[in-house]
Amino acid sequence: MLTVYNYLLIRTAHAQGESIRSLSRRLHRAQKTLRKVIASATGEPERYTRAGPVIYPKLGKCIAFIEQILQDDQTAPEHAILLSCDEKSQIQALDRTQPGLPLKKGRCGTMTHDYKRNGITSLFAAMNVADGTIISDCHPRHRHQEWLKFLKLIKSQVPPDKTVHLICDNYATHKHPKVQAWAQRNPRFIFHFTPTGASWLNMIERFFRDLTDKAIRRGSFYNVEDLVGAIMEYVNAHNQNPKPFIWTATAKDILAKVKRARRAQLRAG
């Protein structure tokens, strides 16, 4: 007879990729017996669910801050500029091994499943929350040096008489000592950081999604220059007719939804 421990060991090992043949040799059990154990309907230690949703300690304060800063007179366009900043790092220049066929009546467009990697680039972008315009630049690497270059680009493109509020995620590059020293030399730049794991609060992430869907995912790029050109072409087209993303949910509504989801998860066990 199989012990409960061996029963769970068999189920878990098989779920992690070990074959019936390998299990049979290791446990000195017949393959037929092992198949019966794996096919049984009880136990199922290989099944798991992802933990969450997680309520971060500072999430409520951060959501409330963003809600307030969007309505605060001090950050209104006539007084200050509010920028949503982030990086889309390691964008791959993928070239399909064969040209895709275009869409035609009765058939979808085609794209090969395999591809060639031709390098990567990292996009640095800042969205003006008031009007939706984008300030962007691409760099081959993603370090504090590139972040400082991007901050200097922002400084050169915003009016010199306005305070600049930047909403960033909690990435270490944004808090590097040299970045902090630059911020002290430029006191009109005020940084606000979202909590760890809550970068979805940053509106620039929504722009990155559109960029991926409309300019990158279906593209075929022979080199990094082609990829950067496609990204900048999309950004320039967006800036010709910019539209801001409107934050419609209140902090109270978001937190109530997170708490309901958490309670439902706890009830489900």
Query: Do 13 and 132 fall into the same domain?
Result: no
Does residue 84 lie in a domain region? yes
Reference 202, options 56, 55, 84; nearest CA is: 84
Token digits for 245?
Answer: 């993303």
Between the CA of residue 252 and those of 63, 172, 195, 256, 261, what are the distances in Å?
9, 29, 17, 6, 14
Residue 44 lies in a domain: no
Summarize pLDDT for 136-192 with one digit per residue, the tens.
Answer: 999 999 999 999 999 999 999 999 888 999 988 888 889 999 999 999 999 999 998
Looking at the structure of the chain, the number of domains it has is: 2
> What stretches of 1-79 adopt beta strand conformation (E)?
none
Q: Tell me: do 33 and 66 sit in the same domain.
A: no
- Domain that includes residue 15, residue range: 4-39
pLDDT, tens only, 93-114: 998 888 877 777 787 778 888 8
In a domain, 140, yes or no: yes
**Alpha carbon distance 207, 31 (integer Å):** 53
Q: Are residues 22 and 126 in the same domain?
A: no
Please indicate, yes or no, whether residues 107 and 226 belong to a single structural domain of this protein: yes
Contact between 202 and 84 (Cβ < 8 Å):
yes
**How far, in Å, CA of 255 to CA of 261, rounded?**
10
Are 189 and 72 in the same domain? yes
**Are the CB atoms for 201 and 66 separated by under 8 Å?**
yes
Bridge partners, 137 (sequence order): 124
CA distances from 107 to 96, 126, 217 (A): 20, 39, 20
Same domain membership, residue 204 and residue 78: yes
Local confidence pLDDT in tens for the 269 residues of the chain: 455 445 556 555 555 566 777 777 777 778 887 777 766 644 454 555 555 555 556 666 666 666 666 666 555 667 788 899 999 999 999 988 888 777 777 877 788 888 889 999 999 999 998 889 999 999 999 999 999 999 999 999 999 888 999 988 888 889 999 999 999 999 999 998 887 777 777 889 999 999 998 899 888 899 999 999 999 999 999 999 998 888 777 777 877 887 887 788 778 75
Could you tell me if residue 51 is inside a domain? no
Q: 96 and 12, same structural domain?
A: no
Q: Residue 139: inside a domain, yes or no?
A: yes
Task: Write phi, then psi, for 189 (nearest 5 degrees).
Answer: -95, 115
65 and 190 fall within a common domain: yes
Chain-centroid distance, C-alpha 121: 16
Q: Is residue 14 domain-shared with residue 81, that is, in the same domain?
A: no
Same domain, 179 and 230: yes
* Residue 262 within a domain: no
Q: In this structure, is residue 218 part of a structural domain?
A: yes
Closest by Cα among 193, 186, 181 to 154: 186
